[in-house]
Amino acid sequence: MLYSTWASLTSGGKAMRPTKKTPQHSVDISEDSGVRNLHFGSDWIQGAMRIARPWALELAYTREMMAGLLMRPTGRWPRNALLVGLGAGSLAKFIYRYLPDCRITVIEINPQVEFIARQYFKLPDDPRRLDVVIGCGADYMLGGDKRFDMILVDGFDPDAKAGALDTEPFYQACRARLSDQGLCSFNLLGWNRGFKGSVERIGAAFDGRVAVFPSCDSGNTIAFATGGEPVDVSLDELRASAMQLKKDTRLDLLPTISRLQLSHPLPDGRLRI
């Protein structure tokens, strides 16, 4: 079942008016076998929530975007996180639920998406911990100086294009907004013809300090980058962290580590960025 919500979106009893930069495509919702999906004017799934487990990360690529949690010491890291692209709110909800000391800022260009995330995907209404800013992610990055421990970039239009979010100036701005222990996580489409160019632009912006994980089943490829304190962790340390993360949050990243080991040569059995 697929139904459009564009015509019915309201905020505070008033119709929401798109701005010049607001995408003009419809925002649609479908449900199948207990999973609610978000679409941007096409059949392509932009976000998903298993209705019985609203806090879980349903899509494989969203789970892998959180692998940065295995690369830094546990405890109070991350203290703050910036998400570029809200979608169904999966990443924001996971961080909100399982990282209670982390403050979350989300940049979303389409106000209708925020409405739907709250109305249909159980995005929490807690502005003290979860601040949703309606605006262009590229403008936000280039126009401020607040620094973040974790930056997750997941923004595409209905044609699977990231636009200004896939340019070297944007990636340079991401690096500038990282804290000393900061990590960036970028969702890239491994099947897209521009994938190699995206990786090259990220590498140029971060002086080659990039780790590109092998594509998951959906074809999404996650790239991690940093410009501050180096990441230097052994496979054993990654597995130990993954086992603890699974115990604490039910998020299982052990298969991700296995695929990483099989697909990439890791000198001395260590992941270094």
Asked if residue 107 lies in contact with residue 82, where contact means CB atoms within 8 angstroms, the answer is: yes
Asked if residue 27 lies in contact with residue 112, where contact means CB atoms within 8 angstroms, the answer is: yes
More confident residue, 132 or 44: 132
Show the domains of the chain with their CATH numbers. 55-272 (3.40.50.150)
pLDDT recorded at residue 273: 94
**β-bridge partners, 142:** none
* Range with lowest mean pLDDT among 65-79, 133-147, 186-200: 186-200
pLDDT recorded at residue 9: 39
pLDDT recorded at residue 121: 98
Active-site residue, 32 included: no
Strands 270-272 and 178-189: unpaired
Asked if residue 266 lies in contact with residue 213, where contact means CB atoms within 8 angstroms, the answer is: no
Q: What is the pLDDT of residues 76-105, one digit of tens each?
A: 899 999 999 999 999 999 999 999 999 999
Which one is catalytic: 28, 149, 154, 166? 154
Percent of the chain scored above 90 by pLDDT? 73
